[in-house]
Structures are given as structure tokens and as C-alpha cells.
């Protein structure tokens, strides 16, 4: 029985990776690491910097980096509106760290002019772990990807301080660190730096 489940899982994953292309927003930040994680899974990616490049992707990744810079570049590139429309229309989205700040309903310690995309029902604090604890690693329990702990890499991580209509997939010290609303996934840590591709793989399995 266990064997059968494993075979099915591999089949689904292999079937999906061969026919989809993941767009990776590459305005700023740690986008190359996501490209490498998907490449390791055999999945094609394409960099997205312009609105027209959104048209041919089956999913989008919003990487870590600097949310304020990324937000400005979303506006100057004209990507903000089409990206919001695509996500609201059901485009699978994997957002990590700064990328998750972009998706939030509200950024609690945002700059006065910060205007997140408001496509995920969470409120977030940009520098939620403060200076002393701004980078750390912690093993995370994520039932959906299996029993083995996932190495959570937190770098100037934001802290989710309110969750609305999202599913909490993992917590650290009682605080949500991985959430999803259907096909829209957000992590306050960096799965692309973990040398463990189970989150990317699981995300892929719901793309078609």
C-alpha cells in the first residue's frame, strides 16, 4: 500500500514537471535559487520582468529580497495590476519572505508608501524577528511533505501576525511560517536555500 502511494506520487510529479513552465519574478532578490530548485526537480522556469512575460507561465514564484524595492519595481515595470489579476484568477503562486510581504493584506511596519498586493488574507510585520534574532535556522514540521523535519532558513524574516482565510501549513514557536490559500502559498523562510526541494515539489504537484 505504501509503495503504491509512492509510485502514484512520483507519477503525478513527473507528469506535471514535463509540461509546465514556472515563472520566477526576477526584478530583485534571490530568484536564481528558485530556478535551481525547480531545475533539480526537472521543471522548466522562465524569468519574469515584464507584464507580457506573465502570459505563458503556469505558476509564478515571488522570491525573497527587499520588499520595498520589489514593490517599486512592480510599479515601474507595469507588473502590479496584471500580477494581481493573474493571482486572483487562480495562478499558482509560491511567495517566499519579501515575496510574501508583497502578497499580504497589510504590512504592519511598512513604509508610509508601501502598498502590498493584498491577495493573501494575512497581516505581516516586515522585520518581525528583530535584530538580535534576524537570521536563524529551525527544523519545521510540515505534515503535507512528510515526516522528516524541513530545514527552515530564516533571514530577516517577516512575521505573520494575523491570519484570515488561509490554511496554516507550518508554525515556528506558535507563529505561522508557511500558509496557503488554495494555489497561493507563502513562506516567511527560504525553502530555496534549504537544499531540500520538498516544498517546491509539493507546490508543483498542484500546478497543471
Give the number of other Cβ atoms within 10 Å of residue 130's Cβ.
Answer: 10
Selected binder of ligand GLN within 17, 79, 120, 126 (CB under 6 A): 126
The pattern of x and - marking residues 151 through 180 that bind ligand GLN according to CB under 6 A reads ----xx-x----------------------
Q: Which of 138, 204, 127 lies closest to 170 in space, CA to CA?
A: 138
Task: Determine, following the binding rule CB under 6 A, whether residue 127 of this chain makes contact with ligand GLN.
Answer: yes
Contact 58, 30 (CB under 8 A): no
200 in catalytic set: no
Choices 13-21, 81-89, 95-103, 114-122 (CB under 6 A): range interacting with ligand GLN:
95-103
Provide the edge-to-edge strand list for the sheet that holds 120-125: 104-107, 120-125, 159-163
Q: Residue 67 or 93: which CB sits closer to ligand GLN?
A: 67
Task: Determine, following the binding rule CB under 6 A, whether residue 138 of this chain makes contact with ligand GLN.
Answer: no
33 in catalytic set: no
Give the active site residue among 34, 172, 192, 201. Answer: 192
Task: Determine, following the binding rule CB under 6 A, whether residue 67 of this chain makes contact with ligand GLN.
Answer: yes
161 in catalytic set: no
Contact 70, 47 (CB under 8 A): no
Closest CB 68 distance from ligand GLN, rounded Å: 6
Give the active site residues: 97, 190, 192
Amino acid at each position: 500500500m505504501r509503495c503504491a502511494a509512492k509510485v502514484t506520487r512520483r507519477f503525478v510529479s513527473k507528469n506535471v514537471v514535463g509540461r509546465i513552465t514556472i515563472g520566477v519574478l526576477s526584478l530583485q532578490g534571490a530568484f536564481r535559487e528558485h530556478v535551481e530548485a525547480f531545475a533539480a526537480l526537472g521543471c522548466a522556469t522562465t524569468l519574469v520582468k515584464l507584464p507580457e512575460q506573465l502570459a505563458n507561465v503556469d505558476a509564478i514564484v515571488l522570491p525573497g529580497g527587499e520588499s520595498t524595492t520589489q514593490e517599486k519595481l512592480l510599479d515601474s515595470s507595469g507588473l502590479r495590476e496584471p500580477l494581481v489579476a493573474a493571482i486572483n484568477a487562480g495562478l499558482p503562486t509560491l511567495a517566499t519572505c519579501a515575496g510574501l510581504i508583497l502578497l499580504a493584506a497589510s504590512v504592519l511596519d511598512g513604509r508610509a508608501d508601501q502598498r502590498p498586493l493584498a491577495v493573501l488574507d494575512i497581516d505581516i510585520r516586515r522585520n518581525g524577528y528583530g535584530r538580535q534574532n534576524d537570521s536563524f535556522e529551525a527544523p519545521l514540521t510540515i505534515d503535507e511533505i512528510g515526516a522528516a523535519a524541513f530545514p527552515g532558513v530564516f533571514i530577516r524574516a517577516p512575521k505573520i501576525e494575523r491570519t484570515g482565510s488561509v490554511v496554516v501549513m507550518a508554525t515556528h514557536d506558535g507563529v505561522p511560517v508557511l500558509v496557503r490559500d488554495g494555489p497561493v502559498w507563502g513562506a516567511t523562510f527560504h525553502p530555496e536555500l534549504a537544499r531540500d526541494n520538498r516544498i517546491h515539489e509539493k507546490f508543483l504537484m498542484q500546478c497543471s
